[in-house]
Amino acid sequence: MSFVATIYGHLAANPDKPFVTEMHGADKRPATGAAILERAGRMRAFLRHRGVNKGDRVVLLAPNSSDWVATDLGMLGEGCVVVPMYARQKPSELVAMMQDCGASLVVAADGTLADKVLAEWEEAPVATFAQAFEQEPVREPPVEIDKDEPVTIIYTSGSTGEPKGVVTTMGNVDYMLPQTATALTRMMALGEPIDGDDTVFHYLPFCFAGSRVVLWTCLYRNNGIHVSTDLDNLVAELGAVAPNYFLNVPVLLERIKNGVEGRIAGKPAPVRWLFARGKSAFLAKVDGSATMLDRAAYRLARTVVFDTVKKQIGPNLRCLICGSAPLGEDTQRWFEMLGIPVYQVYGLTETTAIVTMDTPEGRVVPGRVGPALRGLQVRVGEGEEMQVKGPNIFARYWGKEEATEQAFTEDGWFRTGDRGEVDEHGNWKIIGRVKNLLVPSSGHNVAPEPLEQLLIERIEGVEQALVVGHARPFLTAILTGEASEEAIQQGIDAINADLPHYKRIRAFYLTKEPFTVENELLTANQKVRRDAVEAAYEREIGGMYP
């Protein structure tokens, strides 16, 4: 049975169960199995009304909501190839992707989004949720889709070039969801038994591969999911949900860590001392040098300070899951110190979101992203590039035969574009992107990503970092955030002390303006557009070199 049929079956068998709960601050607005199925059926009827056939590409343009989920399931139920897009992305970029995939229909959340599309593409076949949901629902089993047929096209971020449509097949997803479902079951089994569903919170856009897999996995497991509707209200939403786990990107975990330590700095001296002493005792415990006094200090800090902080972050948290980019070792250790394990996941859109994953019963190593999933082969190829084979690998790039061919080695391994290394236990570490490698005039190869992680983790107030220096005499950095220049220089001096001369950062430029999607310095899935940042700060970068 396909994952689509499985999800439809769960919704039908549990008509009164809240499967998708929208969070509006502390207000919960649940959508039951019956409600989602009805709206999915109305969407199916609308697709038929508009003459959309099995295999046609249909665009889903909306922020996260229960309507998003129903629309996705309705499109899948009709055998359409769903092309989800990021509602906040630049309209001209959205339209270019819509035209590239040959969209038969664009379904937008509302008239505002529809008008943005029409302003760039007058003849766009666009409709809104309200228009689609006017139809009488189709009440039929989902259309059968063969394992080699596509179910979705997700466009890559385009951080280093033109976005490409990644074609994911039914077989790719049917392989992945049992894997993720099993992994989540193992993670939740670590504590006391949970009565009913796992409480899952999700704030990242469903249009991205990792988020889509989280959503589909919850529904595939017959498990509900709580959905953020306002990132500016994230704290209130999290407090109201009190989840067992949620998917994260590193920047949020780093902000949580910096925020907590900032609040601790404002506490009375005994609290500050106990937090610092507990932290040093924990690190001694990790490296095996802890004394009896260290162990006692950690137990006291855990009881008096760390447990309180943990409850403030999430009283019911069993774990956190982190993907999109590697999480720094220091940040992962910090959450471990509080008693919140962080499991890293590594993957790409082309790998149906996942290649490696930490497991509770495995050897979780902070700074590494876990072992390869069962059934996958991963190797280190030329230039330390991670290369993958397995049933999760995408079919092709839509309409781009040459790019598809270049994505694979001659013997059929997918080139991830990431540089990696593996330890004796099979745990992988992501060193950086192959194409991002910096070669200063000294001739050494330098991966900028590990240095950028150090700058963000170790300098309070630094939110984002981009290291530059290709073909230049030394490395410099563009930093964003509220840190003082004195604190930054002290932090850089401390980082440089442990680095060889060619990796040392000799100068920096600080800006208060963050890299964002709106100023076109971040991709839609929050990755830094390196070339765009260097172009935007060309004068400032030039000023850091003699």
Reported as a single tens digit per residue, the pLDDT across 369-426 is 999 999 999 999 998 999 999 999 999 999 999 999 999 999 999 999 999 999 999 9
pLDDT of residue 192: 66
Q: How far apart are CA 451 and CA 195, in angstroms?
A: 44
Q: How far apart are CA 167 and CA 212, in angstroms?
A: 14
Alpha-carbon dihedral 520, 418, 333, 457, rounded to 10 degrees: -40
Whether residue 84 has pLDDT greater than 70: yes
Of the candidates 384, 406, 434, which is a domain's last residue? 434
Q: In which domain, by residue range, is 119 found?
A: 3-190
Q: How far apart are CA 158 and CA 36, in angstroms?
A: 33
pLDDT of residue 191: 64
Exposure b/e, 323-349, CB count within 10 A at least 16 = b:
bbbbbbbbbbbbbebbebbbbbbbbbb
Pairing of strands 385-389, 414-422: antiparallel
Q: Would 67 be classed as within a structural domain?
A: yes
Together in a domain, 394 and 488: no
Together in a domain, 397 and 269: yes
Together in a domain, 255 and 292: yes
Show the tokens assigned to 117: 């599309």
Look at residues 286, 276, 215, 236 and name the one whose alpha carbon lies nearest to residue 65.
Answer: 215
- The pLDDT mean for the chain works out to 93
- Confidence class of residue 190 from pLDDT cuts 50, 70 and 90? low
pLDDT of residue 107: 98
Together in a domain, 119 and 94: yes
Q: Are 78 and 72 in contact (CB under 8 A)?
A: no
Together in a domain, 390 and 464: no
pLDDT of residue 231: 86
Q: Which helix (H) or strand (E) holds 482?
A: none
Of the candidates 396, 413, 434, which is a domain's last residue? 434
Together in a domain, 414 and 470: no
Together in a domain, 10 and 133: yes
Of the candidates 190, 220, 240, which is a domain's last residue? 190
- Cα–Cα distance list, 215 to 18, 159, 206, 212 (Å): 14, 25, 7, 5
Q: What is the mean pLDDT of residues 92-107?
A: 96
Q: Would 205 be classed as within a structural domain?
A: no
Q: Are 142 and 512 in contact (CB under 8 A)?
A: no
Together in a domain, 356 and 450: no
Whether residue 52 has pLDDT greater than 70: yes
Q: Would 228 be classed as within a structural domain?
A: no
Q: Which helix (H) or strand (E) holds 132?
A: helix 129-132
Q: Which range, of 81-85, 274-278, 438-442, averages the lowest pLDDT?
A: 438-442
Q: How far apart are CA 198 and CA 191, in angstroms?
A: 12
Q: How far apart are CA 413 and CA 350, in angstroms?
A: 12
Whether the CA torsion 185, 189, 191, 192 is positive or negative: it is positive
Q: Would 419 be classed as within a structural domain?
A: yes
Together in a domain, 340 and 477: no
pLDDT of residue 114: 98
Helical packing angle, 33-49 and 3-13, nearest 10°: 130
pTM of the shown model: 0.90
Together in a domain, 19 and 142: yes
Q: How far apart are CA 259 and CA 331, in angstroms?
A: 13
403: domain CATH number is 3.40.50.12780
Exposure b/e, 59-74, CB count within 10 A at least 16 = b:
bbbbbbbbbbbbbbbb
Q: Would 446 be classed as within a structural domain?
A: yes
Overall domain count for the chain = 3
Q: Would 472 be classed as within a structural domain?
A: yes
Together in a domain, 425 and 448: no
pLDDT digits (tens, 9 = 90+) for 198-209: 999 999 999 999
Q: What is the mean pLDDT of residues 101-112?
A: 98
492: domain CATH number is 3.30.300.30
Q: What is the mean pLDDT of residues 514-534?
A: 86
Instruction: State CA 14 to chain mean position distance.
Output: 30
Show the tokens assigned to 255: 């902000």
Q: Would 200 be classed as within a structural domain?
A: no
Q: What is the mean pLDDT of residues 32-60?
A: 98
Together in a domain, 58 and 9: yes
In percent, the amount of the chain with pLDDT more than 90 equals 80
- Cα–Cα distance list, 313 to 235, 241, 243, 250, 476 (Å): 9, 12, 10, 15, 35
pLDDT digits (tens, 9 = 90+) for 138-175: 999 999 999 999 999 999 875 556 789 999 999 999 99
